[in-house]
Structure 1
Amino acid sequence: MFVYIFLILQGIPNPPHPFEDGEEVYDAIGGLLQGSSADCKNEDDIRDICQQMFNTLKLYRPDLDLCFSPVNFIHFFFHTPPQTVDARKLEKAEAKLKQKQGRRNERDSQKTTSPLVLEEASASQASSKKDSRVDLSGKNRTYDIRIENFDVSFGERSLLQGAELSLSTGRRYGLIGRNGLGKTTLLKMLASRSLRVPAHITILHVEQEVAGDDTGALQSVLESDMVREGLLTEERLLNARIANGTAEGMETVRLSEIYAKLEEIEADKAPARASIILCGLGFSPKMQTLTTKEFSGGWRMRLALARALFAKPDLLLLDEPTNMLDVRAILWLENYLQTWQTTILVVSHDRNFLNAVVTDIIHLHSQRLESYRGDYENFVKTKEDRLKNQQREYEAQFQYREHIQVFIDRFRYNANRAAQVQSKLKLLEKLPELKPLEKETEVTLKFPDNFEKLSPPVLQLDEVEFYYNTDQRLFTQLSVSADLESRICIVGENGAGKSTMLKLLMGELTPVNGIRHAHRNLKIGYFSQHHVDQLDLNVCSIELLLNKFPGRNEEEYRHQLGGYGITGELATRPVASLSGGQKSRVAFAQMTMPCPNFYILDEPTNHLDMETIEALAKALNKFKGGVVLVSHDERLIRLVCRELWVCEHGNVRRVEGGFDEYRDILQEQFRKEGYL
């Protein structure tokens, strides 16, 4: 307060105002006034003075013809000579003022930064006392899981209502459904035990990458087996006590038990088993000796998967495991999981992976879960049969109701038929509610192609050499070309240089030697496998397009997003709150808005549901421009690509036999290397 008055008296223009009202002035100096003036003992008088001071300070402007000296300023308020100020009261008043100013600054900071608060998932489940008693007693040691009558929500949105989930031990379940319906959320609710899973069942959810530290890759995998690690630690402690001569008799007996247990779980074979898993997922012997902090995020995710496979939990939860893998690692994982002994629940949109791995399908739709025996192809056939039966049943019920209604309408006013009409009315009321068949909306994507034809070569790399450092030459004498008719898929192991090659094609990277040639009218649309990093997550999809392509009306942005399934309130939600597949659709909408005539797509199927992958394949086939894509999705490759290029050993070669030949080559490698 006094600092503020001093600044005014010194003629400093518009000093920062520390008070919001007269009450805050009273809080700051009321006690001081009461102790310094004999005329101001009444609390109401002091409050009035504080209000006058606030009004005067608020109205004061340095440009007014008004001169305040320290004497007449004090006289204006107190009409008495200044008294001696109580130092303790002054300190207390200043501390209180400082505290208030701090709170105000904090409020102002919150207003200006406007942090994005995301919704949270929650689950609720009906239970009985009997269920709780059985669970607590420990008598129910079955490894089957049955969760009845549960709800799952995400913020205010209901994802599942009155749902049931049954998982039999040893079965492998594929959880499928459209993007944004709650598949990932359901896995998280199971992993966190927000849904009641028996306490004796161990759960592992492969969700986050392994932390980077000084632990070696192989050792990190070995440490995931907590039972083995616990036994080995106890063995070392007991051997140390025996060596020191401090061990007791019972400890020697315990050591014998530990040795027997280690032999039972084949602990000596664990390093070899962990190494096979790592090799299958693409870790070379040299890579297995590196520390976890030396790997990128993608490789740490592979480590997380390797740890889960090695630990063998009772319930393994996998969320899009193929997203982080190349074709070679996917084929190995398919083979490995086919012999899995415990229960798996996997979310995947890879049709071929599901056909190779799962024994059952769980379909999430209309806020409920439906189970189907068999792989994905069997699910499609069974679902079609169910829909046909439901349609026939609906039509039969509709005709029956129509027949009854015709009788009622015909004889409604006939006295002789009154009893029969009443009977028919009661019969109509007792019939179950007639619900039309629920059909999921068809997904459609379209890539605009209103552009002129370009004469080849449209895009070409000629004798290109490229490296990030001289010790690691990625490409030597790389020569490839593409035109507007091209449908090319590039495959190869992670780290072989696929994404680097795409950047060379786009001109984002400059060859060390060689030439990149591109047609002068070539307009490339690029979809990155890290597309989420290119989106502003704090705005809604409409604002995102507005910021990227200003000058159009909201209806145009909505129309563009609607073409990729982002409609209604989805378009007004913060991008951060969308599912992975919905973010991919926003990225497609952004990529296609300038109407490119050539697309370069790096892993475009990550997070997309199967219906959208099918729609993507159809859209690419209808598109009249060129397409080069990197993908691990066998279904998309088979539907779209006319050429298959394998990126390996510093070059790119064309596989004449397409994906079938490439798959056979990989399977033969697995057999030779002993990974199967």
Structure 2
Amino acid sequence: MSYYVEGVLSNGIEDFEDSDDLYDAIGGILHEVAEGRSVDDIRDICDKLLDIMRVECGVKLKNGNTKVLNAPVHLGSMAANLQDNVDNIKSIWMLQRDETLKVDAKKLEKAEQKLQQKQEKRLETAVSNKTAPPVKLESATASQVTSKKEAKMEAKGVNRGQDIRIENFDVAYGDRVLLQAANIVLAFGRRYGLVGRNGLGKTTLLRMISCGQLRIPSHVSVLHVEQEVVGNDTTALQSVLECDVARETLLKREKEINVQINAGFLRCTDAKLSTELSEIYASLGAMEADKAPAKASVILAGLGFTKEMQERATKQFSGGWRMRLALARALFSRPDLLLLDEPTNMLDMKAIIWLENYLQQWPTTLLVVSHDRHFLDTVPTDILYLHSQRIDPYRGNYEKFEKAKTEKSRNQQREYEAQMQHRAHVQEFIDRFRYNANRASSVQSKIKMLEKLPELKPIDKEVEVVLKFPEVEPLSPPILQLNEISFGYLPDKLVLNNVDLGATFESRICIVGENGAGKTTLLKLILGVLTPTVGTRVAHRNLRCAYFSQHHVDQLEMDITSVDLLQREFPGKPIEEYRRQLGSFGISGDLALQTVASLSGGQKSRVAFAKMCMAKPNFLVLDEPTNHLDIETIEALGIAINKYTGGVILVSHDERLIRMVCKELWVCNKGTVKSIEGGFDEYRGIVERELQELSK
């Protein structure tokens, strides 16, 4: 009881406008304790307590006096000095807890409800007056239980193992638990793919490891590629070389010693400097420092940096290229544990194929989050499957994982169904002979047997992802035509030259090519955003194009809910219509009422799709639509595109999606756009041959 009263009063004076509020909150409790006291006595006690709280907070009392406190005030001791008619207040605060004292639970619950109602009323008033506090974004937290043995080894510095064990840990995002009593074991030299639905906490888990909230051995170096390189005057090549701190330190010291020797200073120490210089040369030779620029250049070239780009200052690159540079730095530095989150998002097909080949020879431990099905089939040696607040390990690539998971789920379901049948059969026997004295011993043994059976749970079937694009009315051709178009941002430098492209409602065209080859420029010409330098764009008068850009997610308003976002963009419609639109892209229930900032990358993409389709477009132009989407949602996107009755042109490097939907493949290369008759297989063969030439 006293704990409840203390808890109510500890919230401060702000919860109580007058003594009536305080009486509503704790009056019932005081009546239980101070038996025989009248209502007026209890109200007098509440008045005095309210005065004490006002004094503590520096609030003016009824007589106008204010007391400024120089030290904390203990309510129990102050209550002892009150007037005689309230001398029993002290017993309320200082009374030792009496286990025999019983408080009416209904009155306690009623008092709590009254206090809650008053707080909610104040919050509503604040909202109506537009004085509500700003939205605070929730943050992720992690907790972990470590064994005493590991803690002692870590403290003594004798834990030199390269394998990483993160055992019995929880991860939460605000009030939502993402992982509970989970375990991860990362064996040195193996490559792990972390998979699972959007919003379950894959990216959060990587951040918890990289920032140290989930503890790993201190001697294990960790690098998480998450943020782009800060642009400055350093060249791209030098930015990568600077990652090798030991090499850079030795080279810097070598220059300092050579300057001192050549200047003739400190001749008495020349011998010591020469000795140190020899040791530096030996260390540089041991680490093959002279080969470092060539290694860095190979990595940069594989990620699409030409020789000229490698000598360019980092501040001259766009955000996408700086992310590539961050990836190059990570690959060059070779940490003990490399964490990659969707590394293929920023890469074109040539860079993706190169990265797949490079990571297959990765010498240390790799943990990568990816939704590129081909990448997951090529790179990982193991799959970590995040679901139901736990992580299950599987040996092999994604294809083997899928087969093993399906078989495991089937076996678990069979075992569950068999046990349910067995339980039902035994229970039927118990119910039949429960009151039969001759079968009493048999019934008791059956009951005990049921109690000893392990409790099996049915398999949690993941909700199927369904995306639905709007229905469209057919239009008579021609729908969209680019006739001998050329375009350049400068008159004397064309980006695209002599492009002929036609599209209908049956079109499923995929545009591929290296970054910077003009794919986005071509999309803007198709949309009519750019005017051709030469040639004409012809479009049906009822054509309504919708554009999903690869930066669409970043352009959403983050501090409002998904429903509010649609309401701002398309005002005047019923709330149910906004909810229905979001629901058609998998944003339903509480998700639609969360702030956009609190959603995962894949969920934000779905909100962007919902916003794009709110205007009922009949032609979709999609630029890298699979970024941030999980494998199941990419599959659903492919199905939705195939069912869509309008036209589709997309830019993508996701092999799975291209093979699912595309009937035409257009390759942007050196200012031209050409159709590939052999489809994706022919294009992949061309890229692989180019990479082979590059490696020679």
Give the alignment's TM-score, normalised by structure 1: 0.82
> 2:478 aligned with 1:457, yes or no?
yes
> 2:462 aligned with 1:424, yes or no?
no
Partner of 1:218 in structure 2?
Answer: 237
Q: Distance in 2 between matches of 1:128 and 1:248?
A: 53
Q: How does 1:1-12 map to 2 (within 5 A)?
A: none
Partner of 1:284 in structure 2?
Answer: 306
Partner of 2:489 in structure 1?
Answer: 468
> 2:546 aligned with 1:552, yes or no?
no
Q: Distance in 1 between matches of 2:301 and 2:272?
A: 42
- The structural deviation recorded for 1:293 is 0.4
Partner of 1:504 in structure 2?
Answer: 525
Q: How does 1:35-50 map to 2 (within 5 A)?
A: 47=64
Aligned partner (choices 513, 526, 551) of residue 492 of structure 1: 513
- The structural deviation recorded for 1:263 is 1.1
Q: Distance in 1 between matches of 2:466 and 2:637?
A: 8
Question: Which digits, 9 at most, give the CA deviation of each residue in 1:6-49, with x for residues without a partner?
Answer: xxxxxxxxxxxxxxx9xxxxxxxxxxxxxxxxxxxxx999959x
Residues 198 and 249 of structure 1: CA distance in aligned 2, closer, same or farther (over 3 Å) = farther
Letter in 2 for 1:198: P
Partner of 2:395 in structure 1?
Answer: 373
Q: Distance in 2 between matches of 1:607 and 1:201?
A: 29
Q: How does 1:506-655 map to 2 (within 5 A)?
A: 506-655=527-676
Partner of 1:66 in structure 2?
Answer: none
Partner of 2:10 in structure 1?
Answer: none
> 2:139 aligned with 1:117, yes or no?
no
Partner of 1:174 in structure 2?
Answer: 193
Partner of 1:314 in structure 2?
Answer: 336
Q: Distance in 1 between matches of 2:161 and 2:275?
A: 32
Letter in 1 for 2:190: R
Q: Distance in 2 between matches of 1:45 and 1:404?
A: 75
Q: Distance in 1 between matches of 2:651 and 2:182?
A: 38
Q: Distance in 1 between matches of 2:423 and 2:565?
A: 51
Gaps of 5+ in 2: 1-16, 18-59, 66-125
Q: Distance in 1 between matches of 2:318 and 2:358?
A: 24
Question: Which digits, 9 at most, give the CA deviation of each residue in 1:315-342, with x for residues without a partner?
Answer: 1100000001111110111111111101
Q: Distance in 2 between matches of 1:448 and 1:628?
A: 16
- The structural deviation recorded for 1:162 is 0.4
Q: Distance in 2 between matches of 1:543 and 1:601?
A: 24
Partner of 2:14 in structure 1?
Answer: none
Letter in 1 for 2:154: D
Question: Which digits, 9 at most, give the CA deviation of each residue in 1:465-508, with x for residues without a partner?
Answer: 21112353211211111101101000011111111111110111
Partner of 2:364 in structure 1?
Answer: 342
Partner of 2:11 in structure 1?
Answer: none
Question: Which digits, 9 at most, give the CA deviation of each residue in 1:159-192, with x for residues without a partner?
Answer: 1100001101110100011001100010001111
Q: Secondary structure at 1:301's aligned position in 2?
A: helix
Partner of 1:351 in structure 2?
Answer: 373
Q: Distance in 2 between matches of 1:669 and 1:529?
A: 26
Q: How does 1:219-238 map to 2 (within 5 A)?
A: 219-238=238-257
- The structural deviation recorded for 1:250 is 4.3
Q: Secondary structure at 1:298's aligned position in 2?
A: helix
Partner of 1:259 in structure 2?
Answer: 281
- The structural deviation recorded for 1:456 is 2.2
- The structural deviation recorded for 1:409 is 0.9
Q: Distance in 2 between matches of 1:447 and 1:256?
A: 69
Q: Secondary structure at 1:584's aligned position in 2?
A: helix
Letter in 2 for 1:532: V
Q: Distance in 2 between matches of 1:46 and 1:638?
A: 82
Aligned partner (choices 413, 417, 432) of residue 391 of structure 1: 413
Letter in 2 for 1:477: N
- The structural deviation recorded for 1:413 is 1.2
Partner of 2:385 in structure 1?
Answer: 363
Partner of 1:5 in structure 2?
Answer: none
Q: Distance in 2 between matches of 1:531 and 1:319?
A: 19
Letter in 2 for 1:304: A
> 2:428 aligned with 1:406, yes or no?
yes
Q: Secondary structure at 2:489's aligned position in 1?
A: strand
Residues 415 and 250 of structure 1: CA distance in aligned 2, closer, same or farther (over 3 Å) = farther
Q: Distance in 1 between matches of 2:255 and 2:324?
A: 31
Tell which deviates more after alignment, 548-557 or 171-180.
548-557
Q: How does 1:35-74 map to 2 (within 5 A)?
A: 47=64
- The structural deviation recorded for 1:571 is 0.5
Q: Distance in 1 between matches of 2:393 and 2:64?
A: 73
- The structural deviation recorded for 1:111 is 6.9
Q: Report sequence identity in percent.
A: 62
Q: Distance in 2 between matches of 1:589 and 1:605?
A: 15
Residues 44 and 322 of structure 1: CA distance in aligned 2, closer, same or farther (over 3 Å) = closer
Partner of 1:330 in structure 2?
Answer: 352
Aligned partner (choices 150, 170, 175) of residue 131 of structure 1: 150
Letter in 1 for 2:577: E
Q: Distance in 2 between matches of 1:252 and 1:423?
A: 88
Q: Secondary structure at 2:478's aligned position in 1?
A: coil
Question: Which digits, 9 at most, give the CA deviation of each residue in 1:353-374, with x for residues without a partner?
Answer: 1111111100110110011000
Tell which deviates more after alignment, 143-152 or 232-241.
232-241
- The structural deviation recorded for 1:430 is 2.0
Tell which deviates more after alignment, 188-197 or 257-266.
257-266
Q: Secondary structure at 1:211's aligned position in 2?
A: coil
Give the alignment's TM-score, normalised by structure 2: 0.80
- Is the Cα contact below 8 Å between 2:350 and 2:691 reproduced in 1? no
Aligned partner (choices 228, 237, 246) of residue 209 of structure 1: 228
Residues 462 and 428 of structure 1: CA distance in aligned 2, closer, same or farther (over 3 Å) = same
Q: Secondary structure at 2:344's aligned position in 1?
A: helix
Q: Distance in 2 between matches of 1:331 and 1:183?
A: 24
Q: Distance in 1 between matches of 2:457 and 2:473?
A: 50
Q: Distance in 2 between matches of 1:600 and 1:616?
A: 14
Partner of 1:90 in structure 2?
Answer: none
Question: Which digits, 9 at most, give the CA deviation of each residue in 1:75-106, with x for residues without a partner?
Answer: xxxxxxxxxxxxxxxxxxxxxxxxxxxxxxxx
Partner of 1:37 in structure 2?
Answer: none
Residues 497 and 47 of structure 1: CA distance in aligned 2, closer, same or farther (over 3 Å) = same
> 2:164 aligned with 1:145, yes or no?
yes
Letter in 2 for 1:574: T
Two-structure CA RMSD over aligned residues (Å): 2.0
Q: Secondary structure at 1:324's aligned position in 2?
A: coil
Q: Secondary structure at 1:565's aligned position in 2?
A: coil
- The structural deviation recorded for 1:511 is 1.2
Q: Distance in 2 between matches of 1:432 and 1:299?
A: 55
- The structural deviation recorded for 1:657 is 0.8
- The structural deviation recorded for 1:624 is 1.3
Aligned length: 574
- Is the Cα contact below 8 Å between 2:323 and 2:346 reproduced in 1? yes
Q: Secondary structure at 1:321's aligned position in 2?
A: coil
Letter in 1 for 2:387: H
- Is the Cα contact below 8 Å between 2:505 and 2:648 reproduced in 1? yes
Q: Distance in 2 between matches of 1:357 and 1:212?
A: 31
Letter in 1 for 2:426: I
